[in-house]
Homo-oligomer: A and B are copies of this chain.
Amino acid sequence: MASEIVKCIECGKEHSTSDIVYTCSGCGNLLEVSLPLRELDTETVRSAFDSRPLGVWRYREMLPEIACGPVSMDEGGTPLHRCSTLSERLGVAELYIKFDGMNPTGSFKDRGMTVGVSKAVDLGVRKVACASTGNTSASLAAYAGLASLRCVVIIPSGQIALGKLSQAMMHGAKVLAVRGNFDDAMELVILAGKELKLYVLNSVNPFRIEGQKTAAMEVCDQLGRAPDTLVIPVGNGGNSAAYWKGFSEYRQVGLTDAVPVIYGIQAEGAAPIARAFERGEERIDPVKEPETVATAIRIGNPANWKKTIRAIKSSGGTSITVTDEEIIEAQKMIARTEGLFVEPAAASSIAGLEKLLERGTVDSDQRIVCVATGHGLKDPDSAIRNSEKPVEIDPDMESLRAALGS
């Protein structure tokens, strides 16, 4: 039986899955996990998957082997919400929101962390670390707690949303706030990983991508087929690459017959990948001072840019930008028409879809899935800043009538 390996996406160099390695030891490029999927029988895996509830470990035959058993807390299995009022408003036939904010720590990061932290336990490490705009640190801190590992998280000082900060702190991680931005934090954690022997669970870690790819498989199972179009926020670029890998491998195993066209949405002030598409180039110019209300995608130098550009290109899609105003408007619209409270970065996919429809890039008769990566509770401050303020009243009917104008 062929076994799983970790392979460089550029030079193809193979690494053992038991080595602690984040980038290619030959050329320094990104790595990905390569599994012996050819050995899988379609009918056998189909019936194995169907016998388990929806969630990351439903797909264990298509995930890296974990000898110690998974470190898991019911991640994945999130709703594929069929939009009704919102579909009408946007004039599309069939629109779904994959609401990954309903993971245990409130974001899609849990899908990757259950695999990444399980792998850490398998490797026998005792200390884990990450740099984060907030969601990754929240998720790593939680899974490290569950696995009794020590955890260090490095965040850009003053730049992460309140909910996310409270999570890393409550789960007992050592929280270091660097005077700098996310890209500075990222550089530092890579260095710290080497010098202090911390296992680094950033999105360049190929095992995390394995967990994240299950979202694509869930979408196929929930719809009974792959969608035509997937619209997804792009920050560090890991998740769009993960979706593409998930759809592609599901097709390879014979569990779906198509891969959707993937559109990557970036915030206007942090859009190195969208700019690369505009220029028609396959490489990015990093943005020095990324700025957007969508803190989860405020990233100027995305670590996975090469993977995500390839993924989006291979699918036949592109990457575009949306403004902060469009993001906030979309966030409100989703909350008010569909009852789903998503964080600003997550709302960028709906904002992006509106633009893609206007431009005629996406047709209204397609089966469209927008990915909502994180829960709105992650960033209460931004929601409060952008909403109508509560009206203070005395506890009597007169004051109440006056406030309601009735």
Shortest distance from the beta carbon of A404 to any chain B beta carbon, whole Å: 7
Residue A79 at the B interface, CB < 8 A? yes
Complex CA distance for A105 and B101, rounded to whole angstroms: 10
Q: Which residue of B lies closest to A183 (CB)?
A: B395
B74 and A79 contact, CB distance less than 8 A = yes
Q: Give how many copies assemble into the complex.
A: 2
Tell me if B387 and A170 are in contact (CB < 8 A): yes
A185 to B316, CA, bound (A): 55
Interchain CB contact (< 8 A) of A162 among B188, B376, B384, B395: B384
Which among B390, B391, B403 is the interface contact of A165 at CB below 8 angstroms? Answer: B390
Stretch at the interface among A250-258, A319-327, A331-339: A331-339
A177 pairs with B392, CB closer than 8 A: yes
Instruction: Give the shortest distance, in Å, between A337 (CB) and chain B (any CB).
Output: 7
What B residues does A404 contact at CB under 8 A? 152, 174, 176, 196
Which chain B positions have C-beta within 8 A of A145?
335-339
Q: Is the CB of B336 within 8 A of A390?
A: no
Whether A9 sits at the interface, judged by CB under 8 Å, is: no
User: Within the complex, what minimum Cβ distance (angstroms) separates A151 from chain B?
Assistant: 10
In the complex where A380-B163, A384-B162 touch, is A143 in contact with B339 (Cβ < 8 A)? Answer: yes
Residues of A within 8 A of B (CB): 53-54, 73-74, 79, 81, 85, 99, 102, 104-106, 142-143, 145-146, 148, 152, 154-155, 157, 162-163, 165-167, 169-172, 174-180, 184-185, 187-188, 191-192, 195-196, 331-332, 335-341, 375-378, 380-381, 383-384, 386-397, 400-401, 403-404, 406
Known: A105-B341, A146-B337, A174-B391. 5 other contacts (CB 8 A): A79-B104, A176-B404, A177-B392, A180-B395, A380-B380
14 of the cross-chain contacts (CB-CB < 8 Å) are: A53-B53, A74-B99, A106-B375, A145-B337, A146-B337, A163-B377, A166-B387, A170-B383, A174-B404, A175-B390, A175-B391, A185-B395, A187-B395, A375-B377
Whether A403 and B176, one on each chain, are in contact in the complex, defined by CB atoms closer than 8 angstroms, is yes
- The answer to whether B376 touches A166, judged by C-beta atoms less than 8 angstroms apart, is yes
Contacts of A388 in B (CB 8 A): 169, 175
Residues on B with C-beta less than 8 A from A332 are 170, 172
A397 — which chain B residues lie within 8 A by C-beta?
188, 191-192, 195
B393 with A178: CB separation less than 8 A? yes
Q: Chain B residues near A392: list those with CB within 8 A.
A: 157, 177-179
Residue from B184, B191, B377 in contact with A166 in the complex, judged by beta carbons closer than 8 Å = B377
Contacts of A187 in B (CB 8 A): 395
Supposing A157-B392, A394-B178, A395-B187 touch, asked if A169 and B339 sit within 8 A by C-beta, the answer is no
A315→B62 CA distance, assembly (Å):
46
State the 10 A-B residue pairs at the shortest beta-carbon distance, nearest first.
A146-B339, A166-B380, A169-B387, A74-B79, A166-B383, A175-B390, A377-B377, A142-B339, A184-B395, A172-B336
**A187–B185 Cα gap in the complex (Å)?**
51
**Closest residue on chain B to residue A138 by CB atoms:** B341
Q: Are A85 and B377 in contact (CB under 8 A)?
A: no
With a cutoff of 8 Å between Cβ atoms, the chain B residues found around residue A390 in the complex are: 155, 157, 165, 169, 175-177
Determine the distance from Cα of A172 to Cα of B378 in the docked complex, in whole angstroms: 18
Which residues from chain B contact A166 at a C-beta distance below 8 Å? 376-377, 380-381, 383-384, 387
Q: Is the Cβ of A376 less than 8 Å from the Cβ of B73?
A: no
Enumerate chain B residues within 8 angstroms of A175, measured Cβ to Cβ.
Answer: 388, 390-391
- Most chain B beta carbons < 10 A, residue from A104, A341, A403: A341
User: For residue A396, which residues in chain B have a CB less than 8 angstroms away from its CB?
Assistant: 188
With A170-B376, A336-B171, A337-B145 known as contacts, the answer to whether A391 contacts B176 (CB < 8 A) is: yes
